[in-house]
Chain A
Amino acid sequence: GAGVSQTPSNKVTEKGKYVELRCDPISGHTALYWYRQSLGQGPEFLIYFQGTGAADDSGLPNDRFFAVRPEGSVSTLKIQRTERGDSAVYLCASRSSGSVNNEQFFGPGTRLTVL
């Protein structure tokens, strides 16, 4: 497909477990972003990758959250020792480096539920 894809679409886990969320950006997009969105709120920035490196991880709430993008394409958001407060929709977005209007293309999100 031509758009951003995220897997799984839904993830239910128990408190204390480890989860991985995957994002496949649009081919050729060097910039990749992770956001999380709680019900009725706007997306909250977590981390930004330019290529393989995390250029800005200032939005990660604590050290339980980590993300990688080893080959500059697919990215994985990893959450350790999940807590009920981590329940949200996790959105991934990508952007072309040549974009003049800073348009970000969002994926459908992964709905994470921590029981």
Chain B
Amino acid sequence: GQSLEQPSEVTAVEGAIVQINCTYQTSGFYGLSWYQQHDGGAPTFLSYNALDGLEETGRFSSFLSRSDSYGYLLLQELQMKDSASYFCAVRERDYGQNFVFGPGTRLSVLP
């Protein structure tokens, strides 16, 4: 079977740093993506890791350790607009490239 685990909720204050973890058990692994989704909105792409290590894009960074079946999304200098749900998603197959999404982590940023 396939399963991805994320914390259901995280709360932090403006300006803080927050880390959202994702562990996965899938039949195959070809990459880990992160998406952000505001209430009522469409998921939007944040990052993609195919290899171990840290990828940085502005205030957002994403890390992958394939040996640990683990990744995380790091959000720095939190802003109120970062309040949203964050999903990790695993690309299970080399072909097709469909992604298996995690259950999501709801981030609340407080003033």
Contact = CB atoms under 8 A, between A and B. Distances in A.
A40 B106 CA distance: 9
A41 B45 CA distance: 17
Interface residues of B, number: 25
Nearest to A107: B42
A92 to B, nearest CB: 9
B89 A42 contact: yes
A106 B44 contact: yes
Contacts of B103: 40-42
A102 B31 CA distance: 9
Interface stretch (A13-21, A43-51, A66-74, A75-83): A43-51
Contact of B99 (A4, A55, A101, A104): A104
A43 B91 contact: no
Interface in A80-105: 91, 93, 95, 101-105
Given A91-B42, A102-B31, A106-B42, 9 more contacts: A42-B4, A43-B101, A45-B101, A48-B98, A56-B93, A91-B43, A102-B97, A104-B43, A104-B99
Interface of A: 4, 31, 33, 35, 40-45, 48, 55-56, 59, 91, 93, 95, 101-109
